[in-house]
Amino acid sequence: MQIGKIPENVLKRSVIKQIKVDRPEVLLGAGVGEDCSVLKLEEDECFVLSTDPITGTAKDIGHLAVNVTVNDLCSAGAEPVGILLTVLLPENTEEAELKQIMRDTEIACEKLNVQVIGGHTEVTKAVNVPIISVTGVAKVKKGRLVVTGGAKPGMDIIVSKWIGLEGSSIIAKEKREELLTKIPESIVNAARDFDTMLSVYPESKVAVEHGVSAMHDITEGGVFGALWEMAEASGCGLSVDLRAIPIRQETVEICEFYDINPYELISSGSMLIAANDGEGLLKKMEEAGIYGSIVGRMTEGNDRIIMNKGEKRYLEPPKADELYKVV
């Protein structure tokens, strides 16, 4: 395709026609010539908005775009409604590639009941790989909003599923042949398929019903970054047992291969939660088929401590994600 806005016939057949989800809140959604979307909410509901670019990989970018943004919305205790996409494509991109991006996007939307409500698609010299910028729209009942800064001293800190799922999956796809020189194919394949676990929508719903005080999806900067951000936003300290942080063996092996820190690796698919009754929440998560672990507690003061076999270290502010050392 040539530089500029994509032609109307391409827009219709490779973008608009791929959009199937239809939410009742959407009065005006994606369409040719429409620059805005219109949503209607109930009087006791609020909008929740989030935005994210997907730049770390071009593989399965549509799938990632939906899950990363929806996870942000879920961490606020909100119900995702729709997303707006800005899709930037390199010069000479084939239309089939655009259509596949939209198909992958819609598959992820169907699983989460999220509608593509608008956006913009363009071919430009400014990028050399496809890039998607996503804005997510959600709704939440007044008084039910959950924030990152809602944690209090004494609360349990819970991590859902396992850290490093997103980073492991990306590396397994991008560096497959390199990994296979030292790591068994079964492990590389398992890590590749971690992308089926990137949504934190299920645990967010359980957590909201349980009545948690704070949630934060674990993305760039990994679990160490997320822990710092929750403590900083809440004005608290924390004490975490490194050995309690759940991690898959596949992630360990991939991180050892590239000598990167799994605790600072992008981890969509894992939610950081602060709650008064961590054990009760874990029981409800287990009943819903969701693994999780209590990794520590929020504390008074500002000390953010990581314990490992009796050794103490202090958490530092988030750094560049370990993923960028590899891909």
pLDDT at residue 236 tops 90: yes
Residue whose pair of structure tokens reads 């620059």 in the numeric block? 35
Report domain extents, the chain: 4-141, 148-325
Longest dimension (CA), the chain: 64
Q: Report the phi/psi class of residue 80: left, alpha or beta, with left for phi > 0 and alpha for psi in -120 to 50.
A: beta
pLDDT in tens, 158-214: 999 999 999 999 999 999 999 999 999 999 999 999 999 999 999 999 999 999 999
pLDDT in tens, 16-69: 999 999 999 999 898 887 778 889 999 999 999 999 998 878 888 999 999 999
Q: What mean pLDDT do residues 271-289 have?
A: 97
Determine the pLDDT at residue 32. Answer: 84
pLDDT at residue 6 tops 90: no
Determine the pLDDT at residue 1. Answer: 84
Distance CA 83, CA 65 (A): 9
Percentage, residues of the chain above pLDDT 90: 88
- What is the CATH architecture assignment of 148-325? Alpha-Beta Complex (3.90)
Q: What mean pLDDT do residues 140-148 have?
A: 91
Contacts of 289 (CB under 8 A, 6+ apart): none
pLDDT at residue 83 tops 90: yes
Let me know if 239 is exposed, middle or buried by CB neighbors in 10 A (0-12, 13-18, 19+).
middle
Dig out the tokens for 221 from the structure: 């900067």
Contacts of 172 (CB under 8 A, 6+ apart): 179, 188, 189, 191, 192, 194, 250, 254
pLDDT at residue 87 tops 90: yes
What's the mean per-residue pLDDT of the chain? 95
Distance CA 201, CA 6 (A): 33
Just give the CATH number of 4-141: 3.30.1330.10
Angle at 257 between CA 255 and CA 258, to 5 degrees: 70
